[in-house]
Amino acid sequence: MKKLTLLLLKSYIGPFVLTFFIALFIFEMQFLWKYVDDLMGKGLEYTVILELLLYASAKLVNLALPLAILLSSIMVMGNLAENYELTAMKSGGNSLIRILRPLIVFIFIVAFSAFYFANNVWPIANLKFKSLLYSVAEQRPAFNLEDGQFYNGIDGFSIRVKKKSKEGNELEDVLIYDHRSQEKGNKTVIRAKRGIMEQTADKRFLVLTLFDGFSYDEQTEKSKRNPEFPHIKNKFEKDIMRMDLSSFEFSKASEDLFANSYDMMSIGQLETAIDSIYIRAAKSENEMIEYMRANISITRDTLDFEAASRINESYFYDKLSLVQKRRAISVGRDFARKAKSFIERSKVDIDNKLKYADRHKIEWHRKFFFSFACIVLFFIGAPLGAIIRKGGLGLPTVFAILLFVIYYMITITGEKMIRSGTLEPWFGMWMSTFILLPLGLFLTKKAANDSGIMDKEAYTIIFNRIKNFIKLKRKRG
């Protein structure tokens, strides 16, 4: 049995690792396609992009791992069945569950590792991913002058060049608006026939050497009661300008900005946060009740019941003057409007707190659901591979992708229904498991009994019987 265990583990671990990294790579490409606009044209170093991809990989494990387990299970068991190795194992008196025992132990180890990963690595990776992605999104585009277009990326300057050399450092017909002064408008304008553009060694400053040009400066004399605007014009053969490029340097945002988000928390932190949210919701509800008690009360009349029954409900209102009646109606209407507004605001506030608690519950259940999904998909893939009796990347890949899409769509639907308040968090997050677990048990039972539900010949026989039955009916008719 040790040889059989080693054979199964060697047959399974290789395809599992390969399909996991292939699936992870595919999801990484999807991530790059989604955020390509935030990454392109910003002069980011390759280390920043690699770091972002690393954190994104940790975030995408919840998709790649279940798909890898499902696909590798179908491939390996289908290959064993296709080469009659599974039949040989069964002929030795081993049941399907006994044959799968080493793989089941391996999958449980993977599932427990997935739970540890989701509870301890996910929060850290999500925090670093979101803070780094925010920093990348806020990063300014790289310095790039285009012919005939104004460039406003450098603080305090607006630059336009008619033509730039292929090397990118020689400029023709340079026009610069200097906005560094606090006064509004284009007070300082510089124009030169040509220029040379260079960056300092540390890339912190842009050195612009201009030749054969003019500078126009419009100044304001603030000391006078009626200020004048003297116009100064200077001609130069050569002028050197230094522009600060420090705003183009990449800087990471503080992780404290995202530390309190629900997808950055472990199970213990989520439970604490959920309790805190419910306490705040209960406090808001009590404040609403106290407000209503303090402002709306039913006062008992001093008259006895018999005397009160003889008085019409409009008795007190009719005794008021016209002005008093109008005032009473106005006060009552204002009070009712304020009370209604307060209740509506309180209800919205309480509902938002409860929805926020549901978001935390989604993440709480996701950590358990992720590891359990690995087990469920194994018990779907392994017996399905034994039934279809096909290995390789052909038919198993089709079945794996189809089943994974069903699993993913059910999961996403359940999560969206939780966010909309239609389902409870526990039911919405485990809905795909409730649906797919019976399928896994059914396939395991069929595979253990050597069922021919995927056998083409069995369906051909059934089809021929139905066809012959219809022909017989027609003859008798």
- pLDDT tens per residue across span 121-134: 888 888 888 888 77
Mean of pLDDT values over 135-141: 65
Distance CA 169, CA 193 (A): 14
Q: pLDDT value at position 306?
A: 52
Helix (H, G, I), strand (E, B) or coil at 217: strand
Mean of pLDDT values over 357-366: 91
Highest averaged pLDDT of the listed ranges 79-83, 431-435, 462-466:
431-435
CA 459 from centre of chain: 44
Enumerate the H helices of 210-265 as residue ranges.
none
Q: pLDDT value at position 228?
A: 59
Q: pLDDT value at position 462?
A: 63
Distance CA 159, CA 148 (A): 10
Mean of pLDDT values over 31-46: 71
Distance CA 284, CA 347 (A): 9
Distance CA 140, CA 40 (A): 11
Q: pLDDT value at position 184?
A: 55
Per-residue pLDDT tens digits for 277-304: 999 999 988 888 887 777 765 544 444 5
Per-residue pLDDT tens digits for 448-477: 776 655 555 555 666 677 777 677 767 665
Q: Domain ranges in the chain?
A: 1-139+252-465, 150-248
On whether the CB atoms of residues 436 and 376 are closer than 8 A, the answer is yes
pLDDT at 413 over 80: yes
Q: pLDDT value at position 226?
A: 59
Angle between the N-to-C axes of helices 96-116 and 46-82, in degrees from 0 to 180, rounded to the nearest 10: 170
On whether the CB atoms of residues 129 and 53 are closer than 8 A, the answer is no
State the sign of the Cα–Cα–Cα–Cα dihedral 260, 261, 263, 268.
positive
Helix (H, G, I), strand (E, B) or coil at 350: helix
